[in-house]
Homo-oligomer: A and B are copies of this chain.
């Protein structure tokens, strides 16, 4: 049982799009990631994904059928992307985010891309 300082833990994350595990709670993983640029469109089958902005800002893009919309995420904002909803974070400048999702969830969801990460480092 060790505490972890969340903002300080980002110093140990060397690059964007590399989620690190900060904590495990009831079969969920709390993950930290730096994001910069555009991720890939994806969704998570049957798994909700919570996003919280620790530092900076970004845009969460969503699409469903013929509709597409953006949510501007500012520092301190939290949003839950429900299971199966297509989404793509885009960060013009580096942004630090915290996520909560089922343990073992693939970061790129239903796709394998050059941003797919397995064996996530533990902080």
Contacts and interface: CB of A to CB of B under 8 A. Distances in A.
Given A76-B8, A78-B30, A101 B25 contact: yes
Interface size class of A (residues with CB under 8 A): 35 or more
Given A28-B100, A76-B8, A78-B30, A23 B50 contact: yes
Interface of A: 1-8, 22-26, 28, 30, 47-50, 52, 62, 71, 73-74, 76-82, 85, 100-102
Copies in the complex: 2
A94 B30 CA distance: 26
A77 to B, nearest CB: 5
Contact of A2 (B26, B47, B74, B79): B79
Nearest to A85: B1
A59 to B, nearest CB: 11
A71 B1 CA distance: 10
| Residue from the set A25, A73, A100 with the largest chain B CB neighbour count within 10 Å | A25
